[in-house]
Amino acid sequence: MSRAGFAEERDDQTEAVFEIAADGISYRMFLPDFATDYIQGELAWTHLPYELEMLRAMASMLEPGSIVVDAGANVGNHTIYLAAKARALVFAFEPNAHLAAAITRSAELNGKSDSITVIAKALGAAEGRGHFREELPDNLGGQAIDNDGDGEIAVTTLDNVAFPDRVAAIKIDVEGGELDVLRGATNLLTRDRPTIYVECADEQRFREVERLMRSAGYVVADQFNATPTFQYVPTESLTTAERLDRAIVRTIAERLSDLRASGET
């Protein structure tokens, strides 16, 4: 059966709870838009977590009770997996109230309400308000936000959130607002030195994020997903050999970029 036929058969809110299983665990997710939204459809069709390679990498560096920030949580793919597999305490920021409610329902279905905090706000560089730039019913998590001070969406910063303990990891997938999220977390990055996973959809965005992260004392450690998501770790966590290796690779990459720009390759 095709995905379209599958969705037609199950296009009913009472049938929108799906079992997801991987890595020795299983949990249920409420996916109210599985018939129209791409990511919800993938979860419902495959019964596997989305972006599983990165999720495994994140879970491997967490201990039970570690605090994780899921910035741009969408329907809760990362949130529910990390709460179930790593037994992390997850703060899920999702500005779409409909999706935030779905995460809350999934947390309840799995008895994880005590370890998952859903915050129906956007994250940015300053407190304020914003609105979705456009409606994307087939990609609800891909709706970018204009933080122009006007709109129905409340915007806060990570530095203004009172976390109960050290933040161990932050995943950022906010459709172009990554720099603003990081700028609003300056104090948190200095204090807690969390591992960062940040999506960069194009080279320009990566270079901007790279400059900011390097100035904050972070280096790239890995890359995941079809839309590149880069793992950043604090420089002080690396050995001398690892720092030297990354410096050499960066120098070579910059040299090759210069050669391409000059037409010598």
CATH number (domain holding residue 92): 3.40.50.150
Which residue has 């596997």 as its token pair?
48
DSSP code at position 13: G
pLDDT at 129: 83
Maximum pairwise Cα distance, the chain? 61
pLDDT tens digits for range 129-162 = 876 655 555 545 555 556 665 678 889 999 999 9
pTM confidence score? 0.85
Residue 88 lies in a domain: yes
Q: Output the CA torsion sign for 238, 23, 230, 195.
A: negative
Residue 176 lies in a domain: yes
First-to-last alpha carbon distance for the chain, in angstroms, is 48
pLDDT at 144: 58
Residue 167 lies in a domain: yes
What does the mean pLDDT of the chain come to?
87
Residue 172 lies in a domain: yes
Are residues 145 and 129 in contact, defined by beta-carbon separation less than 8 angstroms?
no
> What's the Cα-to-Cα distance from 39 to each of 57, 67, 142, 144, 200, rounded to whole Å?
20, 25, 10, 16, 18
pLDDT tens digits for range 8-45 = 555 555 579 999 999 999 999 999 999 999 999 999 99
244 alpha-carbon distance from chain centroid: 29
Are residues 176 and 144 in contact, defined by beta-carbon separation less than 8 angstroms?
yes
Distance of alpha carbon 32 from alpha carbon 245, whole angstroms: 46
Closest by CA to 118, choosing from 141, 140, 131, 101, is 101
pLDDT tens digits for range 35-82 = 999 999 999 999 999 999 999 999 999 999 999 999 999 999 999 999
Whether residue 120 is predicted with pLDDT greater than 60 in this model: the reply is yes
Residue 45 lies in a domain: no
Residue 94 lies in a domain: yes
Closest by CA to 124, choosing from 68, 182, 74, is 182
Whether residue 241 is predicted with pLDDT greater than 70 in this model: the reply is no
Q: Which residues of 93-131 are buried (b: 16+ CB within 10 A; e: fewer)?
A: bbbbeebbebbbbbbeebebeebbbbbbbbbbbeebbbe
Are residues 99 and 37 in contact, defined by beta-carbon separation less than 8 angstroms?
no
Element (H, E) at 56: helix 52-60
Residue 231 lies in a domain: yes
Choose the weakest-confidence range: 21-30, 84-93, 203-212.
203-212
Residue 219 lies in a domain: yes
pLDDT at 134: 52
**Residue 145 structural domain:** 51-237
Q: What total of structural domains would you count in the chain? A: 1
